[in-house]
């Protein structure tokens, strides 16, 4: 048996069990070994109910009398019952876990682990985890001696997977115990002592204590991140083999453009611009992410890059996630770049003369095409596309970004004769991404950061408002803002009223506000409207014709209305920090004092998240907090899937990721100098090919 053997070669795994394991993605012995325990539990720590002291506790007992009731106002379900052992009984409560009421067999014993403390005048066990006692006790190694092994009670707990019970996994690993010594190293000796991997895997499944288990996991997490980042590094080296147009920097021309701006560039903008203009001069494609908080002025940096491309006789494509945003870019950039001789065109779903524009594009009569990514279809051909800018890149995700680029490259006439040709890529995002995530999601990109806002911007004042008791106080403030000629965003969670969700809807809110703010112009906007209709509403708002725009989060991305000075966010506790910060960035874009009101429904104290919003306007700080509070999946999950699919590592472990990144870079360098040395690390290379498929260009 070796790592690549089928799971059926493990004692105790027959055809049927194997089938169940396959469903869970476990095919080989290696897959099985990497199915790590979800937790460890010291079952000897279970105490009798009569001896309970407040704090984190474990008891073994039967459960009875479970029922669930709903506290409708607080959006809460409360499931409670009684746990009994031979010495007494205690109350148990779960919040918002209504399934618990049906989960237990009253005839059987369970281990319960959780916090036992005083709540509303009585002691109770709150939201404990539970595990069937016979699964634990039955799987304990049978000992012939009267004294059981001292480690037997410190046991790994596996998740149920593919219908296979946790305790069965304990048995599989017990049967594999002798194999562990033979597990080969994964990484070269300069990165990990020989035998380290075997030891870490062993200690994950058979730890003597908590410390051993934690250290083992930490090492395996390091290996995992190492693989991911090595994949990114190797993709990057592949990318270097591609060719791009070298776009020469012309100091005089660039200065001419910069001088024509109505403002002075910030230092951070200068540094980022310089990074980019230097990249454009190279004959390998730029692959750079420009990160800058909302309002930090990324667009003008992109404009300077497009101008350098034009000065060299080539075309630029600027892709935005929505038609509204594309239109706004078009209008802003036209007034800046057309006086310098550039020809711009806008292409969105609702553009009238598509064919003319496409013909002009093919003939090289358009220098900068702005549109949504949907416009890059097979019949959009450029004469000489040399730069592709993707705005609000976080909306696209890694895989999509690469596909888009590839398609764009194919759509250049030049690429027909030269398959290795690719445009330079500048991806921009206003979602501040913590350093550890940057490395894992964008490990193959160079990154520039604009970490400074233009001078003169006033800090947005943020305040938490309790819906029930303080909302009325808000109205005079809003009236004053409108009287002073400013505008208001009013964000709601839903479009329509929904009997199940208690969050506010756009439609009802708009009606209600019309009664409160009589005579004011109020409109609403949501994602289910036709694009043309949305555009019109947005247009009226940006021309100052609307006082209050009631909207769902469709206004989140990039929209720029400097005259808007207030944003009210209903049901604010329902959003993550990153999103709240994005929403808040809709105001404070001009030089007027702006306000953000977070309306919360909760009767409880405002959440930590809302308090952080009140305290800080630093997007990077908020992103770090969000990562800690909610984990990366919640925040970036659906968008960046693939790179975040880590099984072991925690993305908030910044030092570990930084070390893995340095080490992976070193190894990638060695591989570059000596390609043959890759062959020595077969398992490593096959592991990373999985990641590379997600990020590579070709």
Where along the sequence are the contacts to ligand ADP (CB under 6 A)?
A: 263-266, 269, 292, 294-300, 430, 454, 560, 562, 589
- Which one of ligand ADP, Mg ion, none is in contact with 415 (Cβ closer than 5 to 8 A by kind)? none
Least separation in angstroms between CB 558 and ligand ADP? 6
- Which one of ligand ADP, Mg ion, none is in contact with 263 (Cβ closer than 5 to 8 A by kind)? ligand ADP
Strand arrangement, sheet containing 344-347: 344-347, 368-372, 315-320, 385-390, 424-429, 287-292, 446-450
Among residues 303 and 649, whose Cβ is nearest to Mg ion? 303
Least separation in angstroms between CB 320 and ligand ADP? 10
DSSP 330-344: HHHHHHHHGGGT--E
Based on the shown chain and the rule CB under 5 A, indicate whether residue 454 belongs to the binding site for Mg ion.
no
Count of chain residues binding Mg ion (CB under 5 A): 1
Residue with tokens 């469903």: 23
- Which one of ligand ADP, Mg ion, none is in contact with 475 (Cβ closer than 5 to 8 A by kind)? none
Among residues 113 and 291, whose Cβ is nearest to Mg ion? 291
Instruction: Name the DSSP class of 126.
Output: E
Least separation in angstroms between CB 439 and Mg ion? 24
Among residues 389 and 610, whose Cβ is nearest to Mg ion? 389
Among residues 273 and 312, whose Cβ is nearest to ligand ADP? 273
CB-count burial class (<10 Å; 0-12, 13-18, 19+) for 500: exposed
Least separation in angstroms between CB 163 and ligand ADP? 49
Measured distance CA(520)–CA(479) in Å, rounded: 9
Give the pair of three-digit tokens for residue 356: 């003319």
Closest CA to 524 of 564, 488, 498, 557: 488
Q: State the alpha helices, DSSP H only, in 499-650.
A: 506-516, 531-542, 577-584, 608-615, 619-636
Closest CA to 583 of 607, 617, 542: 617
Judged by CB under 5 A, the stretch of 284-292, 419-427, 450-458, 558-566 that binds Mg ion is 558-566
- Which one of Mg ion, ligand ADP, none is in contact with 371 (Cβ closer than 5 to 8 A by kind)? none
Among residues 71 and 261, whose Cβ is nearest to ligand ADP? 261
Among residues 299 and 551, whose Cβ is nearest to Mg ion? 299
What do you get for the CA distance between the two ends of the chain, in Å? 36
Least separation in angstroms between CB 332 and ligand ADP? 7
Residue nearest to Mg ion (CB): 558
Give the pair of three-digit tokens for residue 437: 């995530």
- Which one of ligand ADP, Mg ion, none is in contact with 492 (Cβ closer than 5 to 8 A by kind)? none
Among residues 156 and 558, whose Cβ is nearest to Mg ion? 558
Least separation in angstroms between CB 661 and ligand ADP? 27
Contacts of 544 (CB under 8 A, 6+ apart): 485, 487, 563
Least separation in angstroms between CB 351 and ligand ADP? 22
Q: Which residues of 372-398 are buried (b: 16+ CB within 10 A; e: fewer)?
A: bbebbeeebbbbebbbbbbbbbbbbbb
Measured distance CA(91)–CA(81) in Å, rounded: 6
Among residues 161 and 589, whose Cβ is nearest to ligand ADP? 589
Among residues 558 and 619, whose Cβ is nearest to Mg ion? 558
Least separation in angstroms between CB 451 and ligand ADP? 12
Based on the shown chain and the rule CB under 5 A, indicate whether residue 687 belongs to the binding site for Mg ion.
no
Least separation in angstroms between CB 541 and Mg ion? 17
Q: Which residues pair with 67 in a beta bridge?
A: 80
Measured distance CA(117)–CA(498) in Å, rounded: 37
Helix (H) or strand (E) holding 66: strand 55-71
- Which one of ligand ADP, Mg ion, none is in contact with 287 (Cβ closer than 5 to 8 A by kind)? none
- Which one of ligand ADP, Mg ion, none is in contact with 608 (Cβ closer than 5 to 8 A by kind)? none
Least separation in angstroms between CB 428 and Mg ion? 7
Give the pair of three-digit tokens for residue 192: 């990990």
Least separation in angstroms between CB 271 and ligand ADP? 13
Measured distance CA(62)–CA(128) in Å, rounded: 14
Instruction: Count other C-beta atoms under 10 Å from residue 402's C-beta.
Output: 20
- Which one of ligand ADP, Mg ion, none is in contact with 292 (Cβ closer than 5 to 8 A by kind)? ligand ADP
- Cα–Cα distances in angstroms (integers) from residue 395 to residues 125, 319, 398, 584, in the given order: 42, 11, 10, 18
Among residues 551 and 582, whose Cβ is nearest to ligand ADP? 582
Residue nearest to ligand ADP (CB): 297
Q: Which residues of 590-628 are buried (b: 16+ CB within 10 A; e: fewer)?
A: bebebbbbbbbbbeeebeebbebbeeebebbbbbbbbbe
Least separation in angstroms between CB 547 and ligand ADP? 21
Least separation in angstroms between CB 454 and ligand ADP? 3
- Which one of Mg ion, ligand ADP, none is in contact with 266 (Cβ closer than 5 to 8 A by kind)? ligand ADP
Find out whether 346 and 334 touch, Cβ atoms under 8 Å.
no
Q: Which of 558, 588, 619, 687 binds Mg ion (CB under 5 A)?
A: 558
Among residues 46 and 300, whose Cβ is nearest to ligand ADP? 300
Least separation in angstroms between CB 314 and Mg ion? 23
- Which one of Mg ion, ligand ADP, none is in contact with 582 (Cβ closer than 5 to 8 A by kind)? none
Measured distance CA(436)–CA(651) in Å, rounded: 6
Q: State the alpha helices, DSSP H only, in 184-250.
A: 196-205, 210-240
Q: 654: helix, coil or strand?
A: helix
Judged by CB under 5 A, the stretch of 89-97, 481-489, 554-562, 564-572 that binds Mg ion is 554-562
CB-count burial class (<10 Å; 0-12, 13-18, 19+) for 88: middle
Find out whether 309 and 343 touch, Cβ atoms under 8 Å.
no
Least separation in angstroms between CB 565 and Mg ion? 19
Among residues 155 and 584, whose Cβ is nearest to Mg ion? 584
Among residues 264 and 512, whose Cβ is nearest to ligand ADP? 264
Among residues 207 and 558, whose Cβ is nearest to Mg ion? 558
Among residues 63 and 323, whose Cβ is nearest to ligand ADP? 323
- Which one of ligand ADP, Mg ion, none is in contact with 113 (Cβ closer than 5 to 8 A by kind)? none
Based on the shown chain and the rule CB under 5 A, indicate whether residue 619 belongs to the binding site for Mg ion.
no
Measured distance CA(317)–CA(223) in Å, rounded: 39
Give the pair of three-digit tokens for residue 121: 């005048």
Find out whether 386 and 244 touch, Cβ atoms under 8 Å.
yes
Least separation in angstroms between CB 461 and ligand ADP? 19
Among residues 553 and 654, whose Cβ is nearest to Mg ion? 553
- Which one of Mg ion, ligand ADP, none is in contact with 297 (Cβ closer than 5 to 8 A by kind)? ligand ADP
Closest CA to 410 of 438, 443, 436, 376: 376
Find out whether 381 and 413 touch, Cβ atoms under 8 Å.
yes
Chain residues in the site for Mg ion (CB under 5 A): 558
């Amino acid at each position: 048996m070796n790592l690549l053997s089928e799971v059926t070669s493990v004692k105790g795994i027959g055809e049927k069990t194997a089938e169940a394991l396959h469903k869970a993605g476990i095919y080989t012995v290696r897959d099985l070994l990497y199915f790590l325990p979800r937790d460890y539990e010291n079952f000897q720590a279970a105490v009798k109910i009569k001896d309970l002291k407040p704090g984190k506790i474990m008891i073994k007992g039967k459960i009875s009398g479970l029922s669930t009731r709903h506290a409708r106002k607080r959006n809460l379900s409360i499931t409670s019952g009684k746990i009994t052992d031979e010495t007494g009984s205690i109350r148990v409560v779960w919040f918002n876990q209504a399934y618990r009421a049906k989960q237990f067999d009253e005839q059987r014993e369970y281990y319960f682990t959780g916090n036992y403390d005083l709540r509303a005048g009585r002691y109770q066990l709150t939201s404990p985890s539970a595990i069937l006692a016979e699964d634990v006790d039955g799987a304990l190694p049978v000992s012939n001696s009267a004294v059981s092994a001292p480690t037997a009670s410190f046991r790994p707990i596996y998740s149920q997977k593919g219908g296979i019970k946790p305790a069965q996994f304990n048995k599989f690993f017990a049967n594999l115990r002798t194999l562990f010594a033979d597990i080969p190293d994964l990484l070269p000796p300069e990165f990990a002592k020989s035998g380290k991997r075997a030891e870490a895997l062993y200690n994950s499944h058979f730890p003597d204590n908590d410390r051993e288990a934690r250290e083992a996991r930490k090492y395996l997490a390091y290996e995992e991140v190492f693989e991911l980042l090595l994949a990114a590094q190797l993709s990057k080296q592949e990318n270097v083999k591609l060719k791009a147009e070298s776009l020469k920097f012309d100091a005089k021309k660039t200065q001419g453009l910069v001088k024509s701006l109505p403002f002075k560039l910030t230092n951070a903008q200068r540094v980022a611009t310089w990074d980019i203009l230097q990249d454009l001069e190279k004959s390998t494609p730029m692959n750079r992410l420009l990160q800058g908080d909302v309002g930090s002025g990324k667009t003008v940096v992109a404009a300077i890059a497009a101008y350098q491309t034009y000065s060299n006789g080539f075309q630029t494509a600027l892709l935005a996630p929505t038609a509204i945003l594309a239109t706004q870019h078009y209008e802003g950039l036209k007034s800046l770049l057309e006086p310098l001789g550039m020809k711009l065109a806008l292409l969105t779903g609702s553009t009238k003369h598509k064919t003319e524009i496409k013909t002009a594009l093919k003939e090289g009569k358009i220098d900068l095409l702005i549109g949504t990514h949907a416009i890059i279809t097979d019949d959009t051909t450029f004469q000489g596309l040399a730069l592709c800018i993707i705005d609000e890149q976080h909306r696209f995700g890694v895989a999509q970004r690469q596909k888009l680029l590839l398609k764009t490259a194919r759509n250049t006439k030049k690429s027909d004769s030269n398959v290795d040709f690719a445009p330079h890529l500048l991806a921009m995002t206003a979602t501040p991404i913590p350093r550890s995530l940057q490395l894992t999601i964008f490990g193959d990109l160079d990154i520039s950061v604009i970490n400074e806002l233009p001078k003169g911007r006033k800090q947005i004042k943020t305040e938490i408002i309790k819906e029930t008791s303080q909302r009325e106080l808000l109205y005079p403030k809003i009236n004053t803002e409108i009287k002073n000629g400013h505008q208001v965003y009013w964000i709601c969670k839903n479009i329509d009223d929904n009997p199940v969700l208690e969050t506010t809807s756009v439609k009802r809110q708009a009606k209600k506000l019309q009664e409160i703010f009589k005579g004011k112009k109020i409109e609403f906007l949501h994602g289910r409207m036709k694009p043309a209709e949305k555009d019109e509403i947005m247009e009226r708002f940006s021309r100052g014709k609307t006082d209050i725009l009631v909207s769902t989060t469709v206004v989140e991305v990039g929209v720029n209305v400097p005259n808007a000075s207030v944003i009210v966010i209903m049901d604010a506790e329902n959003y993550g920090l990153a999103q709240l910060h994005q929403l808040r960035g809709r105001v404070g874009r001009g030089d007027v004092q702006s306000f953000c009101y977070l309306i919360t429904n909760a009767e409880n104290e405002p959440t930590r998240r809302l308090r952080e919003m009140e305290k800080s306007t630093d997007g990077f700080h908020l992103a770090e907090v969000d990562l800690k509070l909610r984990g990366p999946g919640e925040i970036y999950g659906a968008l960046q899937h693939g790179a975040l699919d880590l099984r072991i590592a925690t993305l908030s472990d910044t030092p570990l990721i930084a070390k893995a990144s340095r080490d992976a870079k070193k190894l990638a360098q060695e591989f570059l100098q000596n390609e043959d040395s890759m062959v020595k690390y077969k398992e490593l290379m096959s592991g990373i090919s999985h990641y590379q498929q997600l990020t590579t260009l070709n």
